[in-house]
Amino acid sequence: MIPYSNSFIGYIYALLLLPAIILGLKEKPIKRYGLVATLIGLYFLFGFSQRIIFFFVIQFVLIFGYSYLHKKYKSRWLLRLMILFSISPLVLVKLSPLIDLKTPIAFLGISYLTFRTVQMLIEIYDGLITKINPFEFTYFLLFLPTISSGPIDRSRRFKQDLDRKMTKAEYVVLLREGIHKIFCGIGYKFIIAALISTYWINKIPNTHTLLNTWNYMYSYSLYLFFDFAGYSLLAIGTSYLLGIKTPENFNKPFISRNIKEFWTRWHISLSFWFRDFLYTRLVMLFFKKKLLKNKYALSYIAYLITMGTMGIWHGLEIHYILYGLYHGILLALTDHYQRKSAWFKSVKNNRMWNIVFVIITFHLICFGFLIFSGYLFK
């Protein structure tokens, strides 16, 4: 069953959240009940899922095993080996359609759970995480509101919310914000996205004419935003009611003035995860190895690898890979143009030209979503 997909799941979530709200209003800790609610909610979503249990045990052993080994062996190769073990279930799931492999470990949300574990492995290596609590790790990894599609939280930020003692007044503010986000999410996902799907996308003829393709590009882009942003608001709002201030995932992405800005506004938790744990480390590695003298060329190669990896993360179908490479190329071209163009530097703060930049960027974004949709390859 998919989270936030129907009224029955909404009813179950409401029942599970009610005790959390009472605890918050009484200034009592919510975290222990939060884990209980998470486990009950997972049962309603997935049943007694051996796949999730198997995956959780693997990640649990890896995290605590590496935390112990890292104190004795601070080898980068050990970190790489642990990351390889951590992502291996996800890799098998992604490869299964290509090699006709019936993987017994696939489940909704495996990607986002893997991101959380890899992040912790890297931060253990960096010395940012020195102590891990089994309860807190379990709650962080399986956190019910965000288990299927994020947003992707960070373990240290999550722990800060767990340890924070809120007054009734502080929780009331969080409660109001959470309820507001939930209703906004319902409006985005179940009203606006549903209307776009029913009365726009589904009305477009199947024939691939230029006009139909153009029409589909706009409709799908808007549908994707309202559907995913709606889900994210539901997840974030639900998190707030449990006392966890899950980070925002969207910030008016269609008013971005360039593609670099777009990736600070769209699927923020994912783009920042790739920035911090892949792009930045690739650039540092390239500089250290002195692969090229031109530091900007190294940065652009890192853009291509990072965004290509993001595309592959969505799936191994050609449209996902091209989508990632398309954005990698756009990021590199944007950076190069902004650095080299004297004209751009002279007009970048001009209000009228910024409107033009927004319009151009919007169309570049929509064309990327057209690639992502697979429509061009049907």
pLDDT digits (tens, 9 = 90+) for 178-196: 999 999 999 999 999 999 9
Whether 314 is a known active-site residue: answer yes
Low-confidence ranges of the chain (pLDDT < 50): none
257 and 193 in a common domain: no
Residue 358 lies in a domain: yes
Say if 33 falls within a structural domain. yes
Residues 72 and 118 in one domain: yes
H or E segment and range at residue 299: helix 295-314
Predicted pLDDT of residue 175: 98
Q: What are phi and psi of 67, to 5 degrees?
A: -60, -40
Assess whether 371 and 233 both reside in one domain: no
Within a domain: 11: yes
Q: Are residues 126 and 224 in the same domain?
A: no
Say how far apart CA 52 and CA 13 lie, in whole Å. 20
pLDDT at 106: 79
Report in angstroms the alpha-carbon separations of 201 from 220, 341, 364: 7, 39, 20
- Over residues 46-67, the pLDDT tens digits come to 888 888 999 999 999 999 999 9
Q: Which residue among the candidates 180, 208, 267, 314 is catalytic per the annotation? A: 314
Residue 2 resides in a domain:
no
pLDDT digits (tens, 9 = 90+) for 132-189: 999 999 999 999 999 998 999 999 999 999 999 999 999 999 999 999 999 999 999 9
Say if residue 36 is in the same domain as residue 136.
yes
Q: How many Å apart are CA 173 and CA 102, to the nearest integer?
A: 47
Residues 120, 172 within the same domain: no
pLDDT of 6 reads 81
Q: How many domains does the chain have?
A: 3
Q: Domain for residue 265, yes or no?
A: yes
How much is the pTM? 0.95
Q: Which amino acid is at 286?
A: F
Q: Same domain for 193 and 286? A: no
Assess contact for 259 and 246: CB atoms under 8 A: no
Q: Report which of 145, 95, 89, 134 is spatially closest to residue 115, judged by C-alpha positions.
A: 89
- State residue 48's pLDDT score: 80
**Residue 64, phi then psi, degrees to nearest 5:** -75, -30
- Work out the number of other CB atoms within 10 angstroms of the CB of residue 377: 10
pLDDT of residue 103: 65
pLDDT, position 371: 98
Q: How far apart are CA 28 and CA 345, in angstroms?
A: 54
Both 155 and 191 in one domain: the answer is: no
> Domain residues for 219?
168-241
pLDDT at position 283 is: 93
pLDDT of residue 100: 66
Residues 259 and 302 in one domain: yes
The answer as to whether 248 is a domain residue is no
Nearest Cα residue to 175 out of 248, 269, 244: 244
Residue 305 in any domain: the answer is: yes
Q: How many Cβ atoms sit within 10 Å of the Cβ of residue 9?
A: 16
Query: What is the phi/psi pair of residue 267, to 5°?
Result: 40, 55
The pair of structure tokens assigned to 366 is 């929509």
pLDDT confidence of residue 101: 63
Buried b / exposed e over 301-317, threshold 16 CB at 10 Å, is: bbbbbbbbbbbbbebee
